[in-house]
A and B are shown apart, each in its own frame.
Chain A
């Protein structure tokens, strides 16, 4: 299970809530990643102040990661149950194309209906993944690798070489992808709400806690009488619905979608979750971490060209940083577990 077990720390009595909160914050696996993000933003801003302080710079800082944040949150929920959903990139592609087609084929369709349709399609595709995994007892890696190609194939079949252009989409809808409310882009607000709701659910709700239990030890969860099948279905459904939402927003932001939209997004999402401290074997990590991981991943991507690192080196640098983040994360978690063990010995 997670490391939030309430160990009575020896100094805990006099510390007060603030100190305890601070200690938890400094210890938490997300903090390292957040620190890395702050460092990247700081260095880049020193090198080129417009990275943070120009109108476009600030907007892009918040806007660019928003779509990946949604996909990464869904991915984190699935990974926590000791599964993985590799098909999310294809789900984003299908829903993005569906969004375009709806606006073209049904003139005047309300934007909210398109959002609902995109999320419904995503949820259905996710549910199919979940059903194959939960009932088939086949590893999710294999199933979703299959659906990754299958969903993409359907997309190619459907879209062919057609492309949805920005001029096919209503202005109001496109504005959603770039406009802001009090300097905070709408996309970021949506992503933030999703992160907070998902984080609250996983931490405070029975259903959320059971996802961790299943990921920690599926057999124990089964023996304990948890509804493993149902929870796994829900996890995949949520992941699919969030990918669907991301697909609709992708269309709003980039304005162009074709049969290849979203290719490779699945690995970015898994990468973001892992960087953010979600253990790939399930049972630990938070969606906050995954969200920060997503922001870090894309912010590094945007920072490197500004720091003057040539195009050809950027992917290698990103890879190094991913490994670095994971090593850092591992060191932190080892230290934490040592600390917990020694504390238990003291209190015993």
Chain B
């Protein structure tokens, strides 16, 4: 009895060890954020003429349709003014994933880095080193703290977003009736700012429209989906839903699509064309808004050019021309606003892929 038990225990221990190692290995593979370097080797200082127009886009991560679109816009602009376009970036968006890319670009001496920051502070010192070496830093989509960059291209203001969403929904429901909001999480700063502005806008300009409820889908498909169902049941007179989050609007649209309320309850908000294409084409959703990321990248590229040229320094009131988009003025904190959000409808949605 006893020898057999001991050998078995030895065996068990060995297996346990193997299992433990396997678990650790699994964990390790699971957690490593794989900063795979998809470097298309940023063009080394190859300026056209006497200016260094080597401009590199550094998105939050590669393989993201949103950044593919914005960077394509940037590429178009850079081709227009005869610069060299490149794009590098980490595989997954992590707070410090961009640091090594910034350092490499600094060593290569590119003219400008156009970056969507994964973190407002973590990449700060790397960016300041780049600037000390003469590289201009433009942020777009997601900003760093102002002291780390020369210019920020802001896609939209809270006022602009709130106003277009209220405009879209009130137009669709005939400016009278009950509406509700399906937000992300209850503590999302940007969402709450938009909701506050929407409330003011509704109260001021749309007295016949009442906001009856605000629910939170936590940017989770399933939760947003179920909250939409609950909204429709608990407010039988509901005429419209505003969802200022891309996850929320897609989930709500998916619920409406197969529900008895399709076509009776209007839905609008912030969404991306790929997520919303089906619902717009079959009439579940008439119109939704978002900025145009291609324009955002285009403007960022011209902003970088203006900095390289010395046309602007980031001072409030500086003006520059961004190709087809026209003239822009630098605002407070070296920020340039792209403009009003873009409205996507059945007519134009086929032109976009992000």
Contact = CB atoms under 8 A, between A and B. Distances in A.
A150 B26 contact: yes
Interface in B4-48: 12, 15-16, 18-20, 22-24, 26-27, 29-32, 34
A6 interface: no
B296 interface: no
B64 A254 contact: no
Contacts of B254: 166, 254-256
B231 interface: yes
Interface stretch (B70-78, B141-149, B155-163, B218-226): B218-226
Contacts, number: 136
Nearest to A261: B221
Given A48-B234, A150-B30, A151-B30, A163 B226 contact: no
Interface stretch (A49-57, A276-284, A339-347): A49-57
A156 interface: yes
Interface stretch (A10-18, A204-212, A299-307): A299-307
A137 B275 contact: no
A56 B261 contact: yes
A interface SS class: helix
Contacts of B226: 64, 298, 301-302
Nearest to B277: A167
A136 interface: yes
A166 to B, nearest CB: 5
Given A48-B233, A135-B15, A149 B30 contact: yes
A152 B30 contact: yes
Given A48-B233, A60-B229, A160 B91 contact: yes
A178 B260 CA distance: 12
A50 B91 CA distance: 47
B interface SS class: helix
B22 to A, nearest CB: 6
A147 interface: yes
Given A137-B12, A160-B61, A311-B186, A146 B23 contact: yes
Interface string B247-270: 100110010001111000000000
Given A56-B232, A151-B30, A138 B91 contact: no
Given A56-B261, A254-B251, A306-B233, A161 B92 contact: yes
Interface in A273-313: 298, 301-302, 305-306, 308, 311-312
A57 B221 contact: no
Given A138-B20, A301-B226, A165 B233 contact: no
19 contacts: A48-B233, A56-B232, A56-B233, A64-B229, A137-B19, A138-B19, A147-B23, A153-B32, A157-B92, A160-B61, A162-B63, A163-B275, A167-B277, A254-B251, A256-B221, A260-B220, A305-B230, A305-B231, A306-B233
Given A64-B229, A255-B250, A260-B220, 19 more contacts: A51-B233, A64-B226, A142-B23, A143-B19, A146-B24, A146-B26, A147-B23, A147-B26, A149-B31, A160-B63, A160-B64, A161-B63, A161-B93, A162-B63, A250-B222, A255-B254, A256-B250, A306-B234, A308-B234
Interface of B: 12, 15-16, 18-20, 22-24, 26-27, 29-32, 34, 60-61, 63-65, 91-93, 186, 214-216, 220-222, 225-227, 229-234, 236, 247, 250-251, 254, 258-261, 274-275, 277-279
Interface of A: 48, 50-51, 54-57, 60, 64, 132, 135-138, 142-143, 146-147, 149-154, 156-157, 160-163, 165-167, 178-179, 250, 254-257, 260-261, 263, 298, 301-302, 305-306, 308, 311-312
